[in-house]
Amino acid sequence: MSGFSSEERAAPFTLEYRVFLKNERGQYISPFHDIPIYADKDVFHMVVEVPRWSNAKMEIATKDPLNPIKQDVKKGKLRYVANLFPYKGYIWNYGAIPQTWEDPRHNDEHTGCCGDNDPIDVCEIGSKVCARGEIIRVKVLGILAMIDEGETDWKVIAINVDDPDAANYNDINDVKRLKPGYLEATVDWFRRYKVPDGKPENQFAFDAEFKDKDFAIDIIKSTHDYWRALVTKKTDGKGISCMNTTVFESPFQCDPDAAKAIVEALPPHEPACTIPTDVDKWFHHQKN
């Protein structure tokens, strides 16, 4: 058990929906700033934003106080990823490593592009379908360098350390050997997932080759350094909320009561009346 828990506010699949994180004492925290990057030696925390096989594009709200998870919005409408044949929704548990940030002012030496202004993304390849807002511990295996509309958008490949097969996975070559076709499907998915929305295909550095564990960990460490500069105000986040409850050297640190007041000012959780089906989303896409 990680000791972290989550709390929903408002109804899922609405503009008001939020998932807030809490620590082991039940105090509200930021999943971006307050959850430690490391869970153990060579083990990282991962914030699950999107469970495998689901379509709603959920993400850490970097500009909202306490950075809850919310559904992404484009032109006033909630975003869903299309079912790209032959896949259903996201093909891994998808999320982010806390206390990392891809700095939009830093031109990456590997991609020639600046960061995408978000925590670094993770694709978790284990057998369990995780829950939105779940905090899991992952073993990093490799990384893919995606270029999304001119921005660097690293995709870390990892596996839950509690997965029954985790001991068999120690580097990216183990994924190639034990899950043949999965990495190729990952590149294909990321290349095409925006095409149904009228966007061009995404591009990749290194000819879409996955780099190994050591390379991935070096990239993660660099994004942790950029995050440290952000949360200590050595870098201007320009709209990013750095409110936190645990980073002592941060001028944005607040007390738990202030964090609680932010959450309690929002609508309480409501069960979704209807969960959007793939058919609903298909018709919505055709009309718009």
Nearest to 223 by CA among 90, 137, 98: 98
CA–CA gap between residue 9 and residue 5 (Å, rounded):
14
Can you give the pLDDT at residue 9?
97
Chunked mean pLDDT (size 10), the chain, 288 residues = 90 97 98 98 97 98 98 96 97 98 96 97 98 98 97 98 98 98 98 95 97 98 98 95 98 97 92 55 42
Do residues 150 and 182 lie in contact, with contact meaning Cβ atoms separated by under 8 Å? no
**85-96, pLDDT tens digit by residue?**
999 999 999 999
**65-116, pLDDT tens digit by residue?**
999 999 999 999 999 999 999 999 999 999 999 999 999 999 999 999 999 9
Nearest to 125 by CA among 71, 70, 78, 166: 166
Can you give the pLDDT at residue 1?
52
Q: What are phi and psi of 225, to 5 degrees?
A: -65, -40
CB atoms within 10 A of CB 65: 19
Which of these CATH numbers, 3.40.50.10190, 3.40.50.150, 3.90.80.10, 3.40.640.10, describes 5-283?
Answer: 3.90.80.10
Can you give the pLDDT at residue 270?
83
Angle at 287 between CA 284 and CA 288, to 5 degrees: 85
